[in-house]
Structure 1
Amino acid sequence: MKRPLFTNLTRATAGAAVLLLIVSCCRTRTPNAGDGDYPSWMPAVGDPAIPARTVCVTDFGGVGDGLTLNTEAFRLAIAALSEQGGGRVTVPAGVWYTGPVVLTDNIELHLERNALLLFSDDKSLYPLVETTFEGLETWRCQSPISATGARNVAITGEGVIDGNGDAWRAVKSDKLTAREWAAKVKSGGVLSDDGRTWYPSESYKFGATSGADQNVSTWAETREDFERMRDFLRPVMVAIHHCENVLLEGVTFQNSPCWNLHPAMCTNLIVRDITVRCPDYAQNGDGIDIESCRNVVLTGSRFDVGDDGICIKSGKDQAGRDRGIPCENIYVNNCVVFHGHGGFVVGSEMSGGVRNVLVSDCLFSGTDVGLRFKSTRGRGGVVENIRIENITMNNILQEPLLFDLFYGGKSASEAHADGTSAAASTDLPALPVDETTPAFRDIHIRDVRCRGARRAMFFNGLPEMNVERVTVENTSIHAQTGAQINESTDVVLRNVEIVPEQGPALLLNNVKNLTVESFSCPEELPCALSVTGSRNRAIAVRSSRITMERSCFSVGAQRSVTIE
């Protein structure tokens, strides 16, 4: 499908504009324990303590004319406040062209209405720094906004922060129209050897083709090695690492070179009433990646991006296990995700573990997947104690609910297009279980409504480590095909309606201790239930819509099924 350029993003999302306006007008406060559905295990998280002291960037020579480089003005303003113990740097209406901004203890960056903070496309302003990205310690270009090891940090207001990401990103030809692709090629840069990908420079192409684990080089060791591929090492737009008491409120973050927001190893994080936008062709243009953070409240926010919308992570493979910092105590409420690879996502870098998460009252429209849980052999880590409720979805390109422990680094739509997303229809061999084996368990999902999807659900566990103890209840999904559950144990489907356009409503392969209660599907389906595989055990179905006559079994599979 052809994708519009970022300059046409408003046109592409015009249908969502009214809803965005309505949601943006409904400001929310941060809840506390005991408020409604706020979980009892979640501690109260308060706003950072910013001193009541204010300076304006214009006091330090800042000029909002869109031409003057204001890097030094921001540095001086922050330094002056820091010497006095902190306070607020205000950015008035105007276009504030700048290089990197570094926040320190007790500093709030406040954008007034009609203030646009536009980061320069001069890459020499963003030196290589040691940082964390995709769960690994590595080198990347300095982020446009960053804070490291700080306490009481805030970015607030009603303005816009723009990362000038088109200057950094590669683009695939099939993501653009023919006219847009021709314009991109004419603008400069270089093409891939097959002519299907545009790179902004030879440096970027070298980094992308010289050996990389996703977006992190697998061979570079010295700083000189990384310098050779400098343009490939796109920065996260806002990197808040190892900080305590952080607030992001009200601001629109858009057009990042890579991930938009990356809080990592933070404690007490509030994200409230923000908007995050990226063109839908923006590879790795995630909305927010919350990594190894503790005590996080994300409410009343909107995401329209080119990759995962709201993503929870905790480090990758051995590095993540060695770090050993889980992402825990996470509360997500009243958020909207338009487009992107996933609405709410856990993984795939979850090697340090994820636990104690509540997601409620959210809407996903036009995403590849709604609720996306992903990992693969080699990650390790445990994802557990997740509760999800009151989720509305529409026009989901793949699955409203996806557990995939065979994640291969592609979006669900890309995996489907190249044929790598299908569940095993035969028995895959189990591998030995060790610290590298990921586990997803104790996940409870209820009150989900979805109209429009390719497949109703897809559970794809490992033979040696099934997806375990998952409950789905009070859920209605209209999709092209039914729910497919593969290599899963202790699954309960209660009061679930699946309306497929074709094929069985429920397809099971190598499941154990699965209970189906009050299941609903169209009466005219010739085969409502399909069961395959040799490792099925204790499948109990209690539904008037599923009978032996309306079920299909592979050889020997019927022995594991009881239908009442």
Structure 2
Amino acid sequence: MMKKNLLKWPATAALVSLLFVHYANAQQSTGHDMEYYITHAPFKMPAVTEPHFNSKIYNIKDYGAVADGQTLNTAAFEKAITACSTGGGGTVLIPPGLWLTGPIELKSNVNLHADRGALITFSTDHTLYPIVNGKAQTLLSGTKLENVAITGEGVYDGGGETWRPLKKSKASPTLWSDMLKAGGVVSKDGSMLWPTKEAMEGEEYLKTLKGKANPTAQDYLPARDFLRPTMVSVQNSKNVLIDGPTFKNSPQFALNPKNCTNMIIRNVTIFNEYWAQNGDAIDLSSCKNSVVYRCTVHAGDDGICMKSSGGKGDALNDAALKNIVIADCIVYHAHGGFVIGSNTDGGMQNVYVTNCNFVNTDVGIRVKSSRGRGGPVRDIYIDNVYMHDILNEAVLFSTYYEDEKPAQPGQKFEVNSKTPIFSDFYISHVYGSGAKSAISITGLPERPVSKIHFSDVVLSATKPVDITEASTITMDNVKILSPQKTLITANNAWDISLKNISFDANVNTLINATGEKSKGITVSDTDLKNVKVGAGSAAGAVKVK
């Protein structure tokens, strides 16, 4: 369904013109190679280098592979990859053709190269995917590798429709009807269509294993259809290159490298349908010294997402995810264009997002976590981002992800190692039109969101700015266009600096301040003609410099 144009007041033409000028100027300055973004990162970014491979070619056809879309080529892939690795490394070539296979496991010093015209389809026979570490085996995987690559312009199809459930709320009536005809089992409440009875009952079955000591892979088999595999994941590896392929129709996450160092993800296309449950596109989990460059994403869940869990040692001083550059990427449909979280307990530091487009995403810049899964996230730099037609927030900071609820009267929480800590974000030259909400920041009473700096930002939205439980928020040369009469709502927000703020003529109150913590809110270099500066129970906290 097409969304309505949410911007219908006279500022529309001016804003669109302004966005076009900024976008045109940005496009004229493009053409930067990956090395440019690495060297111009706002923190000391280590060099990121490509792995090199021997020149020998191992064609999968020479190992018995047949490109008819009917012959299962799992053994041929395994033989070619093993021969390449044991022979000193090189390129395993997938030529043009239709190649049916089960799971593929990569090895060190192997470049798996799929030529343009190669279509690799992963079998929908789930018995081919054994249980590994409590989940069905990843379709294309590698663990503890050095010098490994997935390259070429081939297409990988994960057969995800045989694994994923479908939420009725996400489906059009026609899609729901077609999927029902294709088979599957509807949940008792009618809200979910599961591909099999085993998938639907898998969660309940897993509860029976919680009391069992050291459950085996065999124990998990009855829930295999529920334990959906990731499509592509290289883990605990270094010197990784993923360059050129398309990954589509994944059972769960499409591309999810974990604990990788010195990694390049470049010219990758991810296509998951908008209704693909948990169909994240690119999720970096606890990776370091990595670049995501010129990738294009259409996802059923988060677009380009940073995750950090299970970090060893002190997450505050040694973040598990660190030194990441994301540049020249486009995210179309997704729950978020650029996303942090929800798992951040391993810590994150030094992430740079630049020259990206987010179009028709649920949220533009999405920073999310909650008590019990949080950790320190700091030194995040986002600039030259252009967004349009955002369903909800253009910029969102939320510490109440999923089922987390605000504290009840008298209820208090202590800060611990799993408390979300969002600080030292620098968001500049961000332009967006047609969002539901421009900026929403929500921290925790025990740990506010802090040190968030906005500069040179233009956003149009139905709702303007909301700040709750936050401190040290600065806005400099920020323009917010909204039909609302109050521009900023602040509840328990302190040390807020508003400088050179612009807004539409309908605004009659700059800021409505409430909450006993609200104080130190200053306004400067702002045209306040015909505008009331402060309102609300904490109006005295607002001062004009």
SS at match of 2:503: coil
Confirm or deny: 8 A CA contact 1:482 1:500 kept in the other structure.
yes
Give the AA of the match of 1:436: K
In 2, the alpha carbon distance for the partners of 1:552 and 1:32 equals 45
Change (3 A) 1:59 1:469: same
Partner of 1:105: 108
2:171 pairs with 1:167 = no
Q: Provide the rounded CA distance (Å) in 1 between the counterparts of 2:58 and 2:534.
A: 71
Equivalent residue number for residue 88 of structure 1: 91
In the alignment, structure 1 residue 31 sits paired with structure 2 residue 24: no
Partner of 2:200: 205
Contact 2:307 2:341 in 1 (8 A): yes
What corresponds to 1:451 in structure 2? 433
Separation in structure 1 between the aligned mates of residue 273 and residue 480 of structure 2, nearest angstrom: 33
Equivalents in 1 of 2:402, 2:203: separation in Å? Answer: 17
Q: Note if contact 1:265-1:325 (Cα within 8 Å) is conserved in structure 2.
A: no
Secondary structure, aligned partner of 1:81: helix
2:517 aligned with 1:535: yes
Matched, 1:73 2:76: yes
Residues 1:140 and 2:146 are matched in the alignment: no
1:47 corresponds to which residue?
50
- 1:262 is paired with a residue whose SS is coil
Aligned residue number for residue 563 of structure 1:
544
The alpha-carbon deviation at position 82 of structure 1 amounts to 1.6
Normalising by the residue count of structure 1, what TM-score does the alignment of the two structures yield? 0.86
- 1:342-388 Cα offsets, whole Å, 9 max, x none, are 01111111100000111110000000111111110112410011111
Counterpart in the other structure of 2:502: 520
Structure 2 counterpart of 1:473: 455
Contact 2:439 2:466 in 1 (8 A): yes
Query: Counterpart in 2 of 1:416?
Result: none
- Cα deviation 1:296-332 (Å, max 9, x = unaligned): 011111001100010101116999979x861000011
Over 3 Å counting, the alpha-carbon distance change for 1:489 and 1:430 in structure 2 is farther
SS in 1 for 2:72: coil
Q: Distance in 1 between matches of 2:158 and 2:437?
A: 36
Instruction: State the Cα RMSD in Å.
Output: 2.7
Q: CA deviation at 1:196?
A: 1.9
1:313 pairs with 2:294: no
Per the alignment, residue 16 of structure 2 pairs with none
Q: Contact conserved, 2:150 with 2:241, CA < 8 A, in 1? A: yes
Alignment pair present for 1:464 and 2:446? yes
Q: Does the C-alpha gap of structure 1 residues 153 and 99 become closer, same or farther in structure 2, counting only changes over 3 Å?
A: same
Report the 3-state secondary structure (helix = DSSP H, G, I; strand = E; otherwise coil) of the residue aligned with 1:59.
helix
CA distance in 2 between counterparts of 1:433 and 1:245 reads 37
Query: Deviation per CA, 1:414-450, whole angstroms, max 9, x where unpaired?
Result: xxxxxx8xx99x9996522222212011110100000
Kept in 2: contact 1:479–1:500 (CA 8 A): yes
Contact between 1:318 and 1:379, CA under 8 Å: does it hold in 2? Answer: no
Q: Taking structure 1 as reference, are residues 430 and 561 closer, same or farther at Cα in structure 2, changes over 3 Å only?
A: farther
Q: TM-score, normalised by structure 2?
A: 0.89
**Unmatched 5+ residue regions in structure 2?**
4-26
Counterpart of 2:357 in 1: which secondary structure? strand
Aligned amino acid, residue 152 of structure 1? N
* Equivalent position amino acid for 1:534 in 2: E
- The alpha-carbon deviation at position 202 of structure 1 amounts to 1.5
Alignment of 1:153-552 (within 5 A): 153-209=148-204, 222-223=215-216, 224-315=218-309, 326-408=320-402, 430-546=412-528, 550-551=532-533
Question: Residue 28 of structure 1: CA displacement?
Answer: 7.2
State the shift of 1:541 in Å. 1.0
Q: Percent of pairs identical after alignment?
A: 38
**Unmatched runs of 5 consecutive residues or more in structure 1:** 4-22, 131-138, 411-419
Partner SS state of residue 185, structure 1: helix
Counterpart-to-counterpart distance in 2, 1:105 and 1:39: 33
Mapped partners of 2:169, 2:469: distance in 1? 34
Q: Distance in 2 between matches of 1:219 and 1:291?
A: 29
Query: By how many angstroms is 1:508 displaced?
Result: 1.1
